[in-house]
Structures are given as structure tokens and as C-alpha cells.
């Protein structure tokens, strides 16, 4: 394991460039609800890698960043990179590392909860930070790959609290969603990606989003290096 980014929310992730499809409509809608004034203050989003959980998390952070103070950094924590925060000394510090990270923050943004170490002091730290935000009425958004009840590394009290709020699954496993995401990635990179190339990649690579992104990047690099258009023939050569 690695942990917590030492930089704020990435501003390139916004609601305006999120690809909305059938499998993520609820998550998108719920995240927008938390960006508005209202009663909704807690959201847990779960789904497989590459399904857009982090994008939504950061889009919400960006919306707070823009409303409160454009010059202010809004902290974000991913349990993919826990060692960067704790340096391997989990629970050895007198002061909570998570409390330090989110001191004065308007929103609690926690990514990859399923990767939180099975470590009692860290569970206690997260529980206290969660309660502090919840009691003060500040918003909380947490993501993970598993539904709340399957988070065996979490305190059962935290799991119960997650179920109090909004819970949304993201699923982009249908081909229409995959095509729309591939098209969006190509547009973001300002490259022309014909539909037949997308269909070829869907047939000849693993169908999860991270694998499709890697295949697209390989084809793009080859096209740039060889100064060729992206075609099915080129994709076939690259994947071979």
C-alpha cells in the first residue's frame, strides 16, 4: 500500500466533464445534491475501479472550492496511499493525522475506503473525524469498491453511519457506457477516435475501464509516434 495525497482536489475533475450514463445517474445526482444547500450531507459511492467514483468525489470538492474561496485548498485523502501519511507508524502519533489533514475543511473527502488498513488506531481516527464533521453539519463523501456492509476493515459503527446517508452504486459495465467514456477520453485528448476503433477495442481487450484506457493510450502513443491516423488497422497492430 501507498496513502494520502499531499495536494488538494484536482480541478480537472468537474461535474461538467463527467460522462453520465445509466449506471451512474444516481451517483451523479446524489453528488450534485450535496453540492447544493439542503439537508443531504452524507454520501457513500461504491463501484469497481475506473467507474468514476474519484471523479465525482473531486467534482464535489471543486464545487466547494469555487464557492467558498478559489484560493483555498480543499484536502482529500485516498487510502491507496496511506504510507505517505503515516510513514508506516500507524497509531504511533499522539495527534490524529486525519484530523490534522482535515482541520478547518468544509467537506470530508475520503477515497478508497476499502483499502483502509485493518488497524484499530486508524479506524478510531477516522471515526472521530467522521463524527466531528457529522456533528457540525459539514458534508461527507466517501468512496470504496464495496457496499457498506461488505467493508470488513471498518468499524461496524461507521458502516452503520454510512447507511444513514445516501448510498449509490456506480456501474459502467454496459457497452453503451464504455463507448461514451471512450469518446469522452478521446475528446479530452483532442484525438479523433472512430466508432469502429472503439468497437475493436471492446472486442479485443479486457472490458473494464482501466484496461480500455490503457489500450487507448497505447494506440494514441503509436499514432503520434508514427504520425498515423487512429484506425482499426493501427489498433490491431498495437494490440498484437
State pLDDT tens for residues 197-220. 999 998 898 878 888 888 989 999
Note the residue count of the chain.
240
Check whether residue 148 and residue 183 sit in a common domain. Answer: no
Do the domain assignments include residue 205? yes
Look at the block and give the residue holding cell 469497481: 48
Residues 56-113 pLDDT 10s: 998 998 888 777 666 667 788 898 877 777 766 655 556 688 888 898 888 999 999 9
Check whether residue 128 and residue 199 sit in a common domain. Answer: no
Quote the pTM value: 0.78
Check whether residue 154 and residue 193 sit in a common domain. Answer: no
Give me the pLDDT at residue 87, please: 66
Report the chain's terminal Cα–Cα distance, integer Å. 32
User: Confidence band (pLDDT; 50, 70, 90) for 5?
Assistant: very low
Check whether residue 151 and residue 102 sit in a common domain. Answer: yes
Do the domain assignments include residue 2? no
Check whether residue 66 and residue 98 sit in a common domain. Answer: yes
C-alpha cell read off for 228: 498515423
Q: What domain range is 224 assigned to? A: 175-239
Which of 150, 169, 188 is the last residue in one of the domains? 169
* Domain of residue 192, CATH code: 1.10.8.60
Check whether residue 123 and residue 194 sit in a common domain. Answer: no
Do the domain assignments include residue 195? yes
Amino acid at each position: 500500500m501507498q496513502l494520502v495525497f499531499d495536494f488538494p482536489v484536482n480541478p480537472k475533475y468537474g461535474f461538467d466533464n463527467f460522462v453520465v450514463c445509466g449506471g451512474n445517474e444516481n451517483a451523479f445526482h446524489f453528488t450534485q445534491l450535496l453540492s447544493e444547500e439542503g439537508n443531504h450531507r452524507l454520501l457513500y459511492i461504491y463501484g469497481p475501479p475506473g467507474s468514476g467514483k474519484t471523479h465525482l468525489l473531486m467534482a464535489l470538492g471543486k464545487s466547494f472550492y469555487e464557492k467558498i474561496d478559489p484560493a483555498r485548498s480543499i484536502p482529500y485523502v485516498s487510502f491507496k496511499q496511506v504510507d505517505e501519511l503515516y510513514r508506516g507508524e500507524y497509531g504511533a502519533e499522539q495527534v490524529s493525522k486525519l484530523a490534522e489533514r482535515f482541520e478547518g475543511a468544509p467537506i470530508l473527502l475520503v477515497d478508497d475506503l476499502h483499502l483502509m488498513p485493518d488497524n484499530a488506531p486508524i479506524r478510531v481516527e477516522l471515526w472521530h473525524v467522521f463524527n466531528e464533521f457529522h456533528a457540525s453539519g459539514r458534508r461527507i463523501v466517501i468512496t470504496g469498491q464495496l457496499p457498506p456492509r461488505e467493508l470488513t476493515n471498518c468499524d461496524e459503527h461507521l458502516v452503520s453511519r454510512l447507511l444513514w446517508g445516501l448510498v449509490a452504486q456506480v456501474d459502467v459495465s454496459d457497452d453503451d457506457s464504455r463507448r461514451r467514456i471512450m469518446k469522452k477520453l478521446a475528446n479530452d485528448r483532442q484525438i479523433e477516435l472512430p466508432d469502429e476503433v472503439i468497437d475493436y477495442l471492446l472486442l479485443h481487450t479486457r472490458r473494464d475501464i482501466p484496461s480500455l484506457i490503457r489500450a487507448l493510450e497505447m494506440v494514441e502513443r503509436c499514432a503520434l509516434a508514427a504520425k498515423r491516423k487512429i484506425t482499426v488497422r493501427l489498433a490491431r497492430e498495437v494490440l498484437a
